[in-house]
Structure 1
């Protein structure tokens, strides 16, 4: 019984703070109720049917998908390339500085970052529009957070800037564990850097690639802070994501059952993505 006694506190805490809320949220999705009233009315699948008929839900889902696609390209593949460059013998002398520079945004408060980028995106005095005017590209200037065509992409860009350093550090740890004999053998065979990256680095960090992709995609479907602080889902519903839609449904419209249905959909999407990745990467299995 000793091993089970050691893990019992962990199981108890996980059950109390993770699995019990998940089960309760799933149950609440079949009720219509207010946070300020004790009574709950069983409505079956009506919350889900209403959700699938809501145009804003599809806008939010589309924005989350954009979040996922751009995050995979910028954070995962961009982070892997950055890690490979910083671990190259030619750049290792300066890698400490660049590691710090890229990782620093990760530890900055999202409120501070949102305030910073609200100045960057300011249509009149913002750095971005001022830089475009300096280059003679005034026709490219926009009210980046105020136009429906650019708002969600401006928000996504903030997330990439903040998170790429974290993914980069994960890949740096993985690259440092690769046996140097593999690179030395490739040098003897006359392989160039691109070949070594493609045929040695990428296969050797497959497990970390799975972890980084899972973290990134799960974060893309559960994102809340950046869209809410920067745009609150606006203008209109242009930058709405599932997280902000859930928050507004629960705490603005007091539709707790409807919000629970949204949370259930987010959970199912995250689980589907995780299972698909496990099948795709065949993680934990020997080649």
Structure 2
């Protein structure tokens, strides 16, 4: 019987990956705290401006709308993706002959490019020739047809629906992994005690999925706050700024050469994400301890 040997690798083999991380991730992140307070054109710094970049953001006419749209998109998509992902996970966890095929089909939208999805749904949402309005008219619901991407009251909900369709499968897979770790003996014991399907779901499934729920909520909140490519592809922030979000403001600031302002907006987004995630973690942990 051969002995298992443990080979020790020298730590300097980590240096290439560490250098890449420091140069392209750590340094840009840390330097952003400095560049947010200066006036720079991307090549040279023209002076320290203090809080002026942040004041310029706050003085924007659409400042309130930008934050409203960002948080609206984040919380609508987070709630719907969590609920839909959990329902799909329960469905995919059932003993079916086509279970693997079902899981693959439900997860497939996650693998698609955001740009491709945005372009396809822009065509689907077209008010004149789009598939959605044509289906509504064919079903006798012509009164429900809308200008989905040019109506300022509907545009964020229309984009949110696309995000939910595309990424609910990711939440489903995380929940599905959690469901498969729950011992069947727990459910069998609950059945013997007379617990119904809803009782087993409430008192066994949900508590057992709390760690997965926390991960899912945090990841979906972060992706919602950072969303850019889907919004930019579908509307570019329009109509008339009705779908502007923090990420599109950052993009526009850099595109116009306002690098300090763009960095300040990026830093502000970073702080918002930290606060939201910290509050979410504290809330979920506190409720978990109370159960």
TM-score between both structures, scaled by the size of structure 1: 0.91
Q: Residue by residue, what CA displacement relative to the aligned partner does 1:13-54 show, whole Å, maximum 9, x if unpaired?
A: 44333332121111111012223x523221100111221222
Q: Match of 1:32?
A: 39
Indicate yes or no: 2:285 matched with 1:278: no
Q: Match of 2:242?
A: 238
Confirm or deny: 8 A CA contact 1:86 1:95 kept in the other structure: yes
Hey, what's the Cα distance between the residues in 1 that align with 2:152 and 2:118?
A: 18
Hey, what's the Cα distance between the residues in 2 that align with 1:137 and 1:203?
A: 42
Hey, what's the Cα distance between the residues in 2 that align with 1:164 and 1:67?
A: 14
Hey, what's the Cα distance between the residues in 1 that align with 2:270 and 2:156?
A: 22
Confirm or deny: 8 A CA contact 2:78 2:224 kept in the other structure: no
Count of residues paired in the alignment: 282
Alignment of 1:19-168 (within 5 A): 19-35=26-42, 37-89=43-95, 92-168=96-172
- Cα distance, 1:147 vs structure 2: 1.6
User: Which range moves more in the overlay, 69-78 or 51-60?
Assistant: 51-60
Quote the RMSD (CA, aligned, Å).
Answer: 2.2
Unmatched 5+ stretches in structure 2: 1-7
Q: Match of 2:261?
A: 258
Unmatched 5+ stretches in structure 1: none
Indicate yes or no: 2:184 matched with 1:180: yes
Q: Match of 1:267?
A: 270
Q: Match of 2:229?
A: 225
Indicate yes or no: 2:255 matched with 1:248: no
Indicate yes or no: 2:24 matched with 1:17: yes
Shift of the 228–88 alpha-carbon distance from structure 1 to 2, 3 Å rule, reads same
Other structure's SS at 1:254 match: coil
Confirm or deny: 8 A CA contact 1:151 1:238 kept in the other structure: yes
- Cα distance, 1:5 vs structure 2: 6.2
Hey, what's the Cα distance between the residues in 2 that align with 1:209 and 1:228?
A: 29
Hey, what's the Cα distance between the residues in 1 that align with 2:16 and 2:218?
A: 27
TM-score between both structures, scaled by the size of structure 2: 0.89
Hey, what's the Cα distance between the residues in 2 that align with 1:176 and 1:190?
A: 23
Hey, what's the Cα distance between the residues in 2 that align with 1:208 and 1:269?
A: 23
- Cα distance, 1:3 vs structure 2: 9.3
Shift of the 270–65 alpha-carbon distance from structure 1 to 2, 3 Å rule, reads same
